[in-house]
Amino acid sequence: MFRICTAAVALFCLLLLPETGRAGDLTYSAEITVDVTAENASVAREKAMTEANRQAYTTVARRVTTAEGVRRLNELNDAQILNFIKEVSIISEKASNVRYLATLNVTINEYILKTYMQENDIPFVIGSAANVLIIPTFREFKTDAPMLWEADNLWRKAWEQNPRTLNSVKFFSIPATGSNYAALDAEKALSLDGMALDKIAFFNNTKDIYVADAVYNGIEGLNITLRSYRDGREENISVPGDRSPQLFIDAINQITDGIYNQIKTQNVVNRQNKSEITVLYSYAYLRDWLHLEKQLREIGYISGIATNAVGSGKVQFTITYIGNFDKLLEALRNKYYNLKNVGDFYIIERI
């Protein structure tokens, strides 16, 4: 192995502190706007702060647990929620005699929230980035030929005009590029043609593909058949409403919410199931290690990093992670790092 360099360790610790302090802030913070009117400005401000705390608490809960977990967390009253608030900073505010309007940044205490969830058996969801490709086929009547690339495909236009991102999950419609156009048509999409969709997955850098076949439901609403290419799962969805752009937006929101909740459910992990690996990293500059350490702390599967030794352009550290090793490895590869097993420890390298 290598000897610990005392000076390097000291410098490492000093430089690491600011990065560690920021880890997780984005996940557990929320920007909230409140507008409250009451009998006087003081009461309005107090009510606004209570409302902001609740909104931020719920926003963060939606990121880290399932829909049922959010429901259970929201059973707490306002006084109890106050215990979870770590910090409130004012971005902007205005007040009159009876009104208080403000934009606030509210940070939830990560440790207290996770402890409460664990003590009350509320599932914890690991956030992981995903690109979900939607292939929107459309027809006005069930007996019509399905459209994909045609100009009359209002369904695809709606997806193009209303892309959606939920936390780290990005939903996007298949782009009308030459390679996509040549590889796929509506019939191949609806039959989940493996050869065509494998090309589409490669061209668009995604593993998650859904075919969303939409048809008008009489004069009101849309009927959508949603098929997952990854596992063949099929779901029928009805969206009520008049034939208008808003109908398609409502359908997009309903579909993306459903897929997002499925992804969250798949990412629920048992936090009691923790494992450790010893890792060796070689670097040219100390800032390279600091960047890697920051990248590692952004991975939800990693619950702890302990530095064992630093010196001679190398750092040895321990990663504590939850869930299975394959999920950790996938998350690392998404950040362009790989682990190589060399016996009693792993070497981490840039891909």
Residues of the chain with CATH 3.30.70: 6-24+270-350
pLDDT in tens, 119-132: 888 888 766 667 89
In CATH, the number for domain 6-24+270-350 is 3.30.70
Residues of the chain with CATH 3.30.1660: 29-108
Question: Residue 5's pLDDT is what?
Answer: 42
Question: Residue 271's pLDDT is what?
Answer: 55
- For the chain, state the CA radius of gyration: 24
pLDDT confidence of 21, banded at 50, 70, 90? very low
CATH 1.10.3470 correct for 29-108: no
277 neighbors 319 (Cβ within 8 angstroms): yes
In CATH, the number for domain 130-266 is 3.40.50
pLDDT in tens, 247-306: 999 999 999 999 988 887 777 755 557 889 999 999 999 899 999 998 898 787 787 899
Tell me how far CA of residue 236 lies from CA of 68, 147, 273, in angstroms. Answer: 22, 19, 36
23 neighbors 302 (Cβ within 8 angstroms): no
Which residue, among 18, 26, 161, 24, has the nearest Cα to 105 in the 3D structure?
26
Predicted confidence (pLDDT) at residue 37 exceeds the cutoff of 90: yes
Instruction: Give the pLDDT mean for 70-87.
Output: 94
